[in-house]
Amino acid sequence: MQREYHKWYSPSLGRDMEQLVFGHAGAPVIIFPTSQGRFYENEDMGMVNALADKIDAGFIQLYCVDSIDADSWYNWHASLEWRMGRANAYDAYLFLEVLPFINSRNSNGYIALAGSSFGAYHAVNFGFRHPERIHKIVALSGRYNLKHYFGHYFNEDLYYNSPLDYIGGAQEGEFLTRVRQQEIKLLTGTWDLGVCQDETRLLHDVLASKGINHTYEVWQDSGHDWPYWFKQIRQFI
């Protein structure tokens, strides 16, 4: 399997960012790590190996990006304004730096996102915020209401980073039209964390209420752990 390591200084974040790329061709898939995970987590935990045949066959090319969760969502000691600023800077990094990097090396034009646990949140949030660029979202065992991370604090920035809120509040127009064109896969399991089960179902309900076609599945005998995610992503990527 072709494996590449990349690192550059991110103007959006003001720091170095790293990623791994696996594969030589196929549809680009940006895959996010779990909460506070690093760019090498999906390789270390076996997710890359679970997709090895699809990567080697040139069906997909996997882009394992880094996270800054410890500096944003999970940075409990920082000001709320700082944390939201970092979250928005991460969105800018993905949109202004990672997407052009992918386009410079892969002319496929079709871009998918994937992630497990908090990585599923990143896949859903970045995908819904940029439906003009993202074609497919595979979200495994995620949570999609970010109010938990900010207590009673709520402002416009948080609203537009909380998919249950901004999808639920969206009015008919170009945004919903574009989201309806995406391929969306939401999965949880009978042994998943209760909050992930609940928020996956809530997101399913919100999407259905907006006429957004998607797949929603609760896997039997499936929980919040890598062996279950391996099976799910193989079916839906």
What confidence score (pLDDT) does residue 95 get? 98
If residue 188 lies in a helix (H) or strand (E), which one and from where to where? strand 183-191
Domain at 48, CATH number: 3.40.50.1820
Residue in the block written with tokens 């839906």:
236
Range of the domain at 93: 3-236
Distance, in Å, from the CA atom of 42 to the CA atom of 60, rounded to the nearest integer, reads: 15
Domain count, the chain: 1
Q: What is the mean pLDDT for each group of 10 consecutive residues in the chain (237 residues)?
A: 97 98 98 97 98 98 97 91 94 98 95 98 98 98 86 83 95 97 98 96 98 97 96 96
Distance, in Å, from the CA atom of 117 to the CA atom of 120, rounded to the nearest integer, reads: 5
What confidence score (pLDDT) does residue 151 get? 72
What confidence score (pLDDT) does residue 145 get? 86
- Whether this prediction's pTM lies above 0.95 is answered by yes
Are 16 and 8 in contact by the 8 Å Cβ rule? The answer is: yes
Six token digits for residue 197: 């089960």
Helices (H) and strands (E) in the chain, counts: 11, 8
Six token digits for residue 205: 């309900």
Q: Is 110 exposed, middle or buried (0-12, 13-18, 19+ CB in 10 A)?
A: middle
For 8-20, b where at least 16 C-beta lie within 10 A, e where not — what string?
A: eebebbeeebebb
What confidence score (pLDDT) does residue 49 get? 98
